[in-house]
Structure 1
Amino acid sequence: MFVSTLETRKLQEGRNSWHCGCWGFKSFLLLLSITLPFFLPSQIVRIYGEIARIGAGIFLLLQLVSVIHFIIWWNKLWTPEDERKKSCSLGLFISTIFHGASFCGVVWMYTSYASRSSCFLNIFFITWTAILLAVIIAVSLHSKVDKGLLSSGIIASYIVFLCWTAIKSEPIIIRCSPVNSEKENRDWITIIAFLIAIFAIVFATFSTGIDYKCFQFGKDEVEEEDDVPYMYGFFHLVFSLGAMHFAMLFISWDLNNSPAKWSIDVGWVSTWVKVINEWFAASFYLWMLISPVVRQNKVTGNNEPVQETTDSSLA
Structure 2
Amino acid sequence: MGAVLGLCSAAQMACCCGSAACSLCCSACPSCRNSTSTRIMYALMLVVTTVVAAIMLSPSLAETLQKIPNLCTASKICQEVVGYLAVYRIMFALTIFFIVMCVMMIGVRTSNDGRAGIQNGFWGLKYVLLVGLMVASFFMGDGRTFGEVWMYFGMVGAALFILIQLILIIDFAHGWAGAWVSEYENNGSRGWYCALFSATIGMYAVAITTVSLCFTYYTVSDGCGLQKFFLSFNLILCAIFSVISVLPIVQEHMPTSGLLQSSAVSLYIMYLTWSALTNSGDTKCLPESLVGENKSKLDLQSIVSLILFAACVLYSSIRNSSNTQVGKLTGVNDSNDAEAGVQSGAVHEETTKVWDNEENGVAYSWSFFHFMFALATLYVMMTLTNWYQPGDATKTGSFVENRGSMWVKIISSWVCAALYSWTLVAPAVFPDREF
Q: TM-score, normalised by structure 2?
A: 0.58
Asked if the contact 2:330/2:364 (under 8 Å) is kept, the reply is no
Q: Which residue of 2 aligns with 1:71?
A: 173
Q: Which residue of 2 aligns with 1:302?
A: none
- State which of 184, 188, 213 in structure 1 corresponds to 2:327: 213
Q: What is the deviation of 1:282? A: 0.9
Q: What is the deviation of 1:271? A: 0.7
Cα distance change of structure 1 residues 158 and 199 upon mapping to structure 2, 3 Å threshold: closer
Cα distance change of structure 1 residues 186 and 198 upon mapping to structure 2, 3 Å threshold: same
* Counterparts of 1:106 and 1:48, CA distance in 2: 33
Q: Which residue of 2 aligns with 1:171?
A: 281
Cα distance change of structure 1 residues 137 and 62 upon mapping to structure 2, 3 Å threshold: closer
For 2:222, the aligned partner's letter is: S
Q: What is the deviation of 1:274? A: 0.7
Cα distance change of structure 1 residues 68 and 38 upon mapping to structure 2, 3 Å threshold: same
- State which of 22, 28, 40 in structure 1 corresponds to 2:140: 40
SS of 2:422's equivalent in the other structure is: helix
* Counterparts of 2:400 and 2:332, CA distance in 1: 37
Q: What is the deviation of 1:276? A: 0.8
Asked if the contact 1:52/1:248 (under 8 Å) is kept, the reply is yes
Q: Does 1:160 align with 2:295?
A: no
- State which of 376, 395, 398 in structure 2 corresponds to 1:242: 376
For 1:109, the aligned partner's letter is: C
Cα distance change of structure 1 residues 82 and 27 upon mapping to structure 2, 3 Å threshold: closer
Q: Does 1:112 align with 2:217?
A: yes
Asked if the contact 1:210/1:235 (under 8 Å) is kept, the reply is no
Deviates more, 1:190-199 or 1:109-118: 190-199
Deviations 1:66-111 (A, max 9, x none): 2222222222223352644432221111111111112222222112
Q: Which residue of 1 aligns with 2:426?
A: 291
For 2:245, the aligned partner's letter is: S
Asked if the contact 1:159/1:281 (under 8 Å) is kept, the reply is yes
* Counterparts of 1:265 and 1:168, CA distance in 2: 13
Cα distance change of structure 1 residues 37 and 60 upon mapping to structure 2, 3 Å threshold: same
For 1:213, the aligned partner's letter is: G
* Counterparts of 1:273 and 1:59, CA distance in 2: 12
* Counterparts of 2:167 and 2:294, CA distance in 1: 34
Asked if the contact 2:102/2:366 (under 8 Å) is kept, the reply is yes
- State which of 187, 190, 198 in structure 1 corresponds to 2:298: 190
For 2:130, the aligned partner's letter is: L
Q: Does 1:31 align with 2:105?
A: no
Over aligned residue pairs, what C-alpha RMSD do you find? 3.6
Cα distance change of structure 1 residues 16 and 210 upon mapping to structure 2, 3 Å threshold: farther
Q: Which residue of 1 aligns with 2:163?
A: 61
Q: Which residue of 1 aligns with 2:312?
A: 204
- State which of 274, 277, 292 in structure 1 corresponds to 2:412: 277
Q: What is the deviation of 1:127? A: 0.6
SS of 2:185's equivalent in the other structure is: coil
**Unpaired segments of 5 or more residues in structure 1?**
300-315
SS of 2:212's equivalent in the other structure is: helix
Cα distance change of structure 1 residues 148 and 23 upon mapping to structure 2, 3 Å threshold: closer
For residues 221-232 of structure 1, the aligned pairs below 5 Å read: 222-223=336-337, 224-225=339-340, 226-227=357-358, 228-232=362-366
* Counterparts of 1:282 and 1:196, CA distance in 2: 20
Deviates more, 1:147-156 or 1:90-99: 147-156
SS of 1:39's equivalent in the other structure is: coil
* Counterparts of 1:137 and 1:11, CA distance in 2: 43
**Unpaired segments of 5 or more residues in structure 2?**
1-100, 252-256, 320-325, 341-356
Q: TM-score, normalised by structure 1?
A: 0.77
Deviations 1:187-219 (A, max 9, x none): 785267645544433443443466551316899
Cα distance change of structure 1 residues 193 and 107 upon mapping to structure 2, 3 Å threshold: closer
For 1:32, the aligned partner's letter is: G
Q: Does 1:139 align with 2:244?
A: yes
* Counterparts of 1:217 and 1:293, CA distance in 2: 24
Q: Which residue of 1 aligns with 2:68?
A: none
Q: How many residues align?
A: 296
Deviations 1:170-195 (A, max 9, x none): 2151x32232545x725785267645
* Counterparts of 2:416 and 2:400, CA distance in 1: 20
Deviates more, 1:34-43 or 1:238-247: 34-43
